């Protein structure tokens, strides 16, 4: 080829690519009408009467609700799922298990309990569970005829044998002590007795999470935990095939799975799933849009916004969104002046323009402003707390803060009239940083705050907040944070509001109870008392009143400021179905997909 035709060819190739790109845009525009009628929209209209109470409607158009569907699932097919991050490992008791991991591990391991749409817990591998009067002994009965992937039978003894392994586990040891569990015994072929060291009415919640709720084959796990990581054995709907760290984890249909859907069809529907960690939010969405993956997992509403925009332009995708108890904002370190003074915390919170923060996070029309730990859809949500929360009122905020600044006795040792210092720090995610800059602008506008923005990577951020080096006080002052948990409130609140340091514990006669997870270091004896009381009863109204009182106190003392509830989502190619509306074995409607945790045994592909 001579050089002239070579350059011509290059030019030709390039222009061809550009034209094709333009046409590609056209054709997907044309496809709009066809895509919109498939998948979730159909579900939404057909079954509105069965919408469960804890549906997930935010303002604007949220696609998904937890609902039952009459559509008949089809068997077969395989999908690739793009996850936010690689999971740490395949051992539920050892490896920390966040949202990406809660997509992978439940395909291999069944949980003993499962969360339901109305905020309760029902049996999954357990058929039922009940407690004695003071919630210190729990007795559960296992489902019969369940086998591990290696063919061995699941018995109560298997669950009892898991306990010694869990006591040594990196993540399960903490969960065991938090739940109060001290002993697990097989009291029958299928009967398990859990003995607790203290009352815990929310114990079943712990049996629905990875550290102590997931059932693994205990003999090989005890023999060699590293080998078990390479060859994990559970009873789950899928069987582990292979794992290529940072690239792909493959699971295949468990042909002997015990689970059935309501029509008597054996679960799971899919033949094979490939999990792909794609940390870059942009690439993960691009992978979905290009059908490189069929599912995208995201915890960022900016990505949800972009995915919605792509959908509205005709991309063949559907968003399963969930507005859970996942609220973003930040926290003050109340052990560090001037944040030990409620006027500072309150003033700064009043200067938090929630709508703008949500917009910066990309959450306008996706997320609601936050006033408490619980989202408006949660059974624990309280209108009273919402009314008590210090809403955005710039002038009131300035007045509150001014009062502190002019106080000659102010706690930070500065002269009266001098602005307070705020080091506002966030991990380097573009949307979090944008949100932080919104706060900076309003705080600075008051003329009473000198704001310094910092961003550390995630590990540094956590380490400063945790403050393991200085008795868990931490080095942070004001800190981006996101609190979340769709589990029973006790599972996170009892950690987050426990005595932050040994000194605080001793001063309140609570020796030995120190929680590093109390990030804001806020402690109030009455609040903690209410939290403990709430684990001693399973009466919903009683517990609701206790949690409401805790939230009211938080709205008054504002150790944590809330910006907006953050939606999480699974974006799917429009033929991927069954994620939002699935049922437990006993027919109860499941919780849906909180924290973008899909229940993949229920997913199926609609026929063309």
Partner 1 sequence: MTATDPGTKTEFPSERLTKVSTAMSIDARQGTPPKRSSPWAVFKEMPIFVKLSAVWLILVFGGAIYAKIDQVIFNGALPLQDPNFQTNNFDPSTGEFGTGDPIESPSWSHWLGTDAIARDTFARIVHGGWVSLIVASVAAAFGIIVGGFLGSLVGFIRGRTETIVMSIIDVILAFPALILLLAMVSIFKVRDLFIIAMVIGFLSIPAYTRVSRANSLAISNREFVLAARAIGTKPATILRREIIPNVLPTVLSYAMVAAAFVIVVEGSLSFLGLSVQLPTSTWGNMINQARRDIDLNLLQVVAPSLALVFTVLSLNQVGDWLQKRSAHRASAL
Partner 2 sequence: MGRILATRLLRLGATLFAVTFLSFIMTSLLPGDPVNAILGVDAPRDQETVDRIRDELGLDKPLPVRYVNWLGSAVQGDLGESYINRGQTVWGDTIVQRLPVTAQLAFMAIIIAVILAVPIGVLGAYRQGRWEDQTTSAGVQVALSVPNFITGIFLIWLFAVKLKWLPASNWNRISDKGLIANLETAILPSTALALTQMAIFSRLVRSDMIATLQENFVLSAKAKGLSDRYVLFRHALRPSSLSLATIVGINFGALLGGTVVIETLFAIPGLGFRLINAINQRDILVIQGITVFVAVAYVLINTIVDLLYTVLDPRIRKG
Stretch that binds partner 1, among 88-96, 233-241, 449-457, 600-608 (CB under 8 A): 449-457
Kindly state whether residue 456 participates in binding partner 1, applying the rule CB under 8 A: yes
DSSP assignment string, 81-108: EEESS--S-S-TTTS---TTHHHHHHHH
**Residue 597 contact, options partner 1, partner 2, none, Cβ 5-8 Å cut-off depending on partner type:** none
Per the CB < 8 A criterion, the answer to whether 569 and 307 are in contact is yes
Going residue by residue from 228 to 257, which x/- string records binding to partner 2, judged by CB under 8 A? -xx-----------x-xxxxx---------
Q: How many CB atoms lie within 10 A of CB 326?
A: 25
Kindly state whether residue 485 participates in binding partner 2, applying the rule CB under 8 A: yes
Kindly state whether residue 544 participates in binding partner 1, applying the rule CB under 8 A: no
Kindly state whether residue 457 participates in binding partner 2, applying the rule CB under 8 A: yes
Pair of tokens at residue 487: 């589990």
d(CA 478, CA 454): 10
Kindly state whether residue 440 participates in binding partner 1, applying the rule CB under 8 A: yes
Query: Could you tell me the strand order of the sheet in which 317-322 lies?
Result: 238-244, 248-253, 272-277, 78-83, 295-298, 568-573, 317-322
d(CA 55, CA 593): 11
d(CA 199, CA 179): 9
Pair of tokens at residue 388: 């008590």
Which residues 347-386 are close enough to bind partner 1 by CB under 8 A? 353, 356, 359-360, 362
Stretch that binds partner 2, among 219-227, 258-266, 443-451, 529-537 (CB under 8 A): 219-227
Q: What is the DSSP letter of 449?
A: E
Rule CB under 8 A: choose which of 47, 292, 411, 508 binds partner 2. 292
Per the CB < 8 A criterion, the answer to whether 194 and 183 are in contact is yes
Kindly state whether residue 510 participates in binding partner 2, applying the rule CB under 8 A: no
Stretch that binds partner 2, among 125-133, 146-154, 404-412, 510-518 (CB under 8 A): 510-518
Strands 78-83, 272-277: parallel, antiparallel or unpaired by DSSP?
Answer: parallel
Kindly state whether residue 219 participates in binding partner 1, applying the rule CB under 8 A: no
Going residue by residue from 417 to 436, which x/- string records binding to partner 1, judged by CB under 8 A? -----------xxxx-xx-x
Kindly state whether residue 517 participates in binding partner 1, applying the rule CB under 8 A: no
Please state the closest distance from residue 281 (CB atom) to partner 1, in A.
6
Kindly state whether residue 525 participates in binding partner 2, applying the rule CB under 8 A: no
Per the CB < 8 A criterion, the answer to whether 322 and 569 are in contact is yes
Stretch that binds partner 2, among 88-96, 130-138, 195-203, 582-590 (CB under 8 A): 88-96
Q: How many CB atoms lie within 10 A of CB 153?
A: 13
Kindly state whether residue 455 participates in binding partner 2, applying the rule CB under 8 A: no
Per the CB < 8 A criterion, the answer to whether 348 and 424 are in contact is no
Nearer to partner 1, 356 or 581 (CB): 356
Nearer to partner 1, 431 or 549 (CB): 431
Q: Where are the beta strands (DSSP E) in 70-146?
A: 78-83, 113-115, 121-123, 126-131, 137-142
**Residue 492 contact, options partner 1, partner 2, none, Cβ 5-8 Å cut-off depending on partner type:** partner 2
CA 8 to chain centre: 54
Per the CB < 8 A criterion, the answer to whether 59 and 365 are in contact is yes
**Residue 454 contact, options partner 1, partner 2, none, Cβ 5-8 Å cut-off depending on partner type:** partner 1
DSSP SS3 for 401: helix
Nearer to partner 1, 19 or 309 (CB): 309
Phi, psi of 229 (to 5 degrees): -65, -30
Please state the closest distance from residue 479 (CB atom) to partner 1, in A.
14
Per the CB < 8 A criterion, the answer to whether 64 and 321 are in contact is yes
Rule CB under 8 A: choose which of 45, 223, 415, 459 binds partner 2. 459
Q: Interior CA angle at 82 toward 76 and 86, to 5°?
A: 120
**Residue 246 contact, options partner 1, partner 2, none, Cβ 5-8 Å cut-off depending on partner type:** partner 2
d(CA 249, CA 276): 7
Rule CB under 8 A: choose which of 9, 25, 260, 506 binds partner 2. 25
Per the CB < 8 A criterion, the answer to whether 557 and 523 are in contact is no
Q: How many CB atoms lie within 10 A of CB 227?
A: 11
Rule CB under 8 A: choose which of 24, 31, 60, 282 binds partner 1. 282
178 Cβ contact partners less than 8 Å away, ≥ 6 residues apart:
206, 491, 494, 495
Q: Find the length of the chain.
A: 608
Per the CB < 8 A criterion, the answer to whether 318 and 311 are in contact is yes
587 Cβ contact partners less than 8 Å away, ≥ 6 residues apart:
262
d(CA 212, CA 109): 11
Kindly state whether residue 280 participates in binding partner 2, applying the rule CB under 8 A: yes
**Residue 412 contact, options partner 2, partner 1, none, Cβ 5-8 Å cut-off depending on partner type:** none
Nearer to partner 2, 12 or 260 (CB): 12
Kindly state whether residue 71 participates in binding partner 1, applying the rule CB under 8 A: no
Binding-site size, partner 2 (CB under 8 A) = 70
Kindly state whether residue 6 participates in binding partner 2, applying the rule CB under 8 A: yes
**Residue 360 contact, options partner 1, partner 2, none, Cβ 5-8 Å cut-off depending on partner type:** partner 1
| Chain residues in the site for partner 1 (CB under 8 A) | 281-282, 302-303, 306, 309-310, 313, 353, 356, 359-360, 362, 394, 428-431, 433-434, 436-438, 440-442, 444-447, 453-457, 460
Q: Give the residues lining the site for partner 2 (CB under 8 A).
A: 2-3, 6-7, 17, 20-21, 24-25, 80, 82, 86, 88-89, 94-98, 170-171, 173-175, 177-178, 211, 225-227, 229-230, 242, 244-248, 276-280, 282-284, 286-287, 289-293, 456-460, 462-464, 466, 468, 485, 492, 495, 514-517
């Amino acid at each position: 080829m001579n050089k002239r035709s070579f350059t011509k060819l290059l030019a030709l190739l390039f222009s061809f690519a550009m034209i094709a790109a333009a046409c590609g845009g056209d054709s997907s525009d044309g496809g709009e009408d066809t895509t919109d009628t498939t998948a979730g929209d159909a579900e939404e209209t057909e079954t509105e009467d069965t919408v469960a109470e804890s549906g997930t409607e935010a303002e604007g158009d949220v696609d998904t609700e937890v609902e039952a569907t009459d559509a008949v699932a089809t068997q077969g097919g395989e999908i690739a799922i793009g996850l936010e991050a690689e999971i740490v490992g395949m051992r539920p008791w050892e490896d920390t298990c966040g949202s990406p991991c809660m997509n992978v591990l439940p395909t291999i391991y069944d949980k003993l309990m499962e969360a339901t749409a109305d905020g309760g817990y029902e049996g999954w591998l357990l058929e039922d569970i009940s407690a004695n009067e003071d919630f210190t002994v729990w007795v559960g009965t296992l489902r019969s005829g369940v086998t591990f992937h290696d063919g061995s039978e699941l018995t109560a003894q298997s669950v009892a044998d898991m306990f010694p392994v869990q006591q040594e586990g990196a993540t399960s040891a903490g969960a065991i002590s938090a739940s109060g569990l001290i002993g697990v015994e097989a009291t029958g072929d299928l009967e398990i007795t859990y003995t607790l060291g203290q009352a815990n009415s929310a114990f079943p919640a712990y049996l629905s999470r990875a550290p102590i709720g997931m059932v693994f084959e205990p003999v090989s796990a005890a023999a060699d935990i590293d080998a078990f990581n390479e060859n994990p054995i559970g009873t789950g709907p899928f069987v582990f095939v292979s794992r290529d760290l940072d690239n792909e984890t493959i699971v295949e249909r468990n042909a002997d799975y015990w689970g059935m859907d309501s029509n008597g069809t054996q679960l799971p529907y899919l033949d094979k799933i490939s999990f792909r960690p794609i940390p870059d939010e942009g690439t993960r969405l691009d992978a979905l849009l290009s059908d490189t993956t069929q599912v995208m997992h995201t915890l960022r509403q900016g990505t949800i916004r972009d995915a919605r925009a792509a959908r509205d332009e005709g991309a063949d995708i559907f968003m399963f969104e969930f507005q859970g108890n996942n609220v973003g904002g930040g926290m003050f370190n109340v052990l560090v002046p001037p944040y030990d003074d409620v006027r500072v915390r309150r003033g700064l919170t009043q200067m938090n323009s929630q709508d703008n923060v949500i917009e910066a996070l990309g959450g306008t029309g996706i997320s609601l402003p936050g006033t408490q730990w619980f989202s408006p859809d949660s059974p624990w949500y309280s209108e009273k707390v919402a009314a008590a929360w210090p809403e955005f009122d710039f002038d009131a905020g300035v007045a509150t803060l001014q009062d502190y600044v002019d106080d000659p006795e102010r706690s930070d040792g500065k002269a009266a009239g001098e602005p307070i210092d705020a080091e506002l720090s966030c991990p380097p995610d573009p949307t979090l940083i944008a949100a932080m800059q919104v706060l900076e602008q309003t705080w600075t506008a008051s003329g009473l705050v000198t704001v310094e923005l910092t961003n550390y990577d995630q590990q540094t951020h956590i380490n400063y907040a945790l403050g393991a080096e200085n008795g868990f006080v931490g080095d942070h002052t004001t800190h981006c944070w996101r609190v979340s948990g769709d589990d029973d409130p006790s599972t996170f609140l009892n950690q987050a509001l426990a005595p932050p340091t040994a000194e605080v514990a001793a001063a309140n006669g609570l020796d030995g109870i120190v929680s590093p997870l109390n990030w804001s270091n806020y402690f109030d004896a009455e609040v903690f008392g209410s939290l403990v009381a709430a684990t001693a009863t399973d009466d919903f109204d009683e517990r609701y009143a206790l949690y409401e009182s805790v939230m009211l106190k938080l709205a008054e003392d504002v150790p944590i400021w809330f910006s907006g509830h953050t939606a999480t989502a699974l974006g799917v190619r429009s033929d991927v179905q069954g994620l939002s509306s699935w049922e437990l074995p006993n027919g109860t409607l499941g919780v849906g997909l909180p924290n973008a945790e899909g229940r993949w045994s229920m997913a199926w592909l609609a026929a063309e």
